[in-house]
């Protein structure tokens, strides 16, 4: 096993623990804040506001992370980002609404640092033959942490309205300890030997900040990156649709005859299963991308999501995005198994396109990988924020119509970029 693969596995394991602790805390957030002094409607208002703060800060920070990575390096960037996750978890020992807003600012900054720097670290430890495999390995660990978190929460907290103080202290202590384990592991994260001299020179150069910002802007203006922006924007829209629209729409569809928590946790488990299996496929068989091209698997991702939207259209009433209803769907009554199958298909499709976005940015754009991941996360957050904004006014079918149009455009744009990249490869070989 080569040292670069060991680096990827080590980082993946560290973030398995960090993401597990953070995702579990985020999933329990509503139950923890629902106390005698903070009723559900108050929480929902603060949660919506804090979510808007989070995505705004996340998007804005994306333009400043590449200079940070250039100056302090990937190891310390990841440590800084993870500390914001740890503070968010610790806060729930004694949660306060005003502090929640403040922590969502730091959390937005930390998330931008973590996700962009992870992409840079994968690029540093990959070449054309291993970049898809390494992306798949990292995302497999990430999806596994989400899936295990959802399974544990389903059996422990499904249909539990409030979490008692003693129970909260215990679970927050455990999650804090797990997050600290991942944070400590990051202190021992190694850089590839071939990059250490470059990193040292970059750290000592104050001009690196201005050079990196300039490179970000220049990269965004390139034709291939502008085409990829369509895909990046789609990933934000569909992520917001699944998390903020489809999940509640299932709960609002009373004819499904399931408790909201059971629907929610079951959906998250199957989404995690789909993401885990999709990422694992490329972790094991990443060399298939070299033979067939990334565009083939992007077509498959598009097919998975298109089937998802068709099933939702047939199975969930149009009015379900606005609140509780007993409206008839095309499949009457709506089928519970079809509803949660959409979660699996969504997760599977998301894994396919996420792996290949990572592979494209860390492979074809390896020299500008940090800037590339910054652009990716900026437009993804922008898509999320816009989707949360219009989802309050647009019906379920209209939102899916927007997603289908953008999905087709995203797949076509990615295919154009992939063919352009593959056409350049023979010319670059001696």
- Identify whether the C-beta of residue 190 lies closer than 8 Å to the C-beta of residue 78: no
Write out the two tokens for 170: 């215990």
Mean pLDDT, the chain, rounded, equals 83
Q: Half-sphere exposure of residue 359, counting CA atoms within 13 Å on the CB side?
A: 34
Write out the two tokens for 5: 């693969």
- How many C-beta atoms surround the C-beta of residue 393 within 10 A? 10
Q: What is the pLDDT of residue 198?
A: 39
CATH tag, 3-198+207-422 = 1.20.1250.20
Q: Enumerate the domain spans of the chain.
A: 3-198+207-422
pLDDT digits (tens, 9 = 90+) for 248-300: 888 777 777 767 667 777 888 999 999 999 999 988 887 777 778 888 999 99
Question: Who contacts 198 (Cβ-Cβ below 8 Å, separation ≥6)?
Answer: none
The residue with greater pLDDT, 122 or 211, is 122
Q: What is the pLDDT of residue 40?
A: 44
Provide the phi-psi class of 298: left if phi over 0, else alpha when psi is between -120 and 50, else beta. alpha
Position 209 pLDDT exceeds 90 = no
> What distances in angstroms separate CA 107 from CA 43, 177, 181, 240, 356, one per listed residue?
18, 19, 19, 18, 26
Q: What is the average pLDDT across 296-314?
A: 93
pLDDT digits (tens, 9 = 90+) for 1-43: 688 899 999 999 999 999 999 999 988 887 777 653 444 444 4
Q: What is the pLDDT of residue 286?
A: 74
pTM here is 0.87
- Which range is most confident: 101-110, 271-280, 312-321? 271-280
Place of tokens 């990443």: 286
């Amino acid at each position: 096993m080569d040292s670069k693969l060991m680096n990827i596995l080590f980082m993946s394991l560290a973030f398995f623990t960090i993401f597990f602790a953070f995702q579990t805390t985020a999933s329990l957030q509503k139950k923890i804040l629902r106390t005698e002094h903070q009723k559900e409607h108050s929480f929902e208002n603060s949660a919506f506001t804090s979510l808007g703060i989070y995505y705004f800060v996340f998007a804005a920070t994306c333009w400043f992370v590449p200079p940070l990575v250039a100056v302090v390096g990937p190891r310390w960037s990841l440590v800084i980002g993870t500390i914001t996750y740890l503070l968010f978890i610790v806060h729930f020992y004694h949660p306060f609404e005003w502090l929640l807003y403040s922590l969502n600012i730091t959390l937005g900054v930390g998330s931008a640092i973590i996700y962009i720097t992870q992409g840079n670290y994968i690029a540093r430890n990959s070449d054309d033959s291993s970049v898809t495999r390494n992306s798949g390995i990292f995302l497999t660990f990430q999806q596994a942490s989400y899936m295990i978190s959802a399974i544990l929460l389903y059996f422990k907290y499904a249909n539990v309205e409030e979490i008692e103080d003693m129970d909260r202290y215990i679970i927050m202590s455990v999650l804090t300890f797990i997050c600290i384990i991942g944070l400590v592991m990051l202190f021992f994260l190694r850089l590839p030997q071939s990059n250490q001299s470059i990193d040292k020179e970059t750290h000592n150069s104050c001009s690196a900040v201005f050079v990196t910002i300039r490179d970000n802007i220049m990269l965004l203006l390139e034709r291939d990156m502008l085409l990829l922006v369509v895909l990046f924007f789609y990933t934000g829209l569909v992520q917001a649709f699944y998390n903020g629209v489809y999940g509640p729409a299932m709960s609002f569809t009373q004819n499904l005859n399931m408790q909201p928590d059971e629907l929610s946790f079951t959906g998250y488990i199957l989404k995690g299963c789909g993401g885990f299996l999709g990422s694992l496929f490329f972790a094991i068989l990443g060399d298939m991308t070299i033979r067939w091209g990334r565009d083939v698997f992007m077509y498959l991702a598009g097919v998975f999501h298109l089937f998802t939207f068709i099933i939702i259209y047939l199975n969930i009433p149009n009015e379900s995005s606005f609140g509780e209803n007993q409206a008839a769907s095309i499949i009457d009554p709506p089928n519970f198994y079809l509803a949660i199958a959409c979660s699996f298909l969504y997760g599977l499709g998301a894994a396919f396109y996420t792996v290949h976005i990572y592979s494209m940015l860390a492979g074809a754009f390896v020299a500008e990988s940090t800037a590339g991941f910054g652009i990716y996360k900026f437009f993804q957050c922008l898509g999320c924020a816009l989707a949360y904004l219009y989802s309050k006014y647009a019906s379920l079918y209209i939102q899916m119509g927007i997603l289908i149009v953008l999905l087709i455009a995203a797949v076509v744009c990615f295919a154009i970029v992939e063919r352009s990249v593959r056409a350049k490869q023979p010319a670059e070989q001696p």
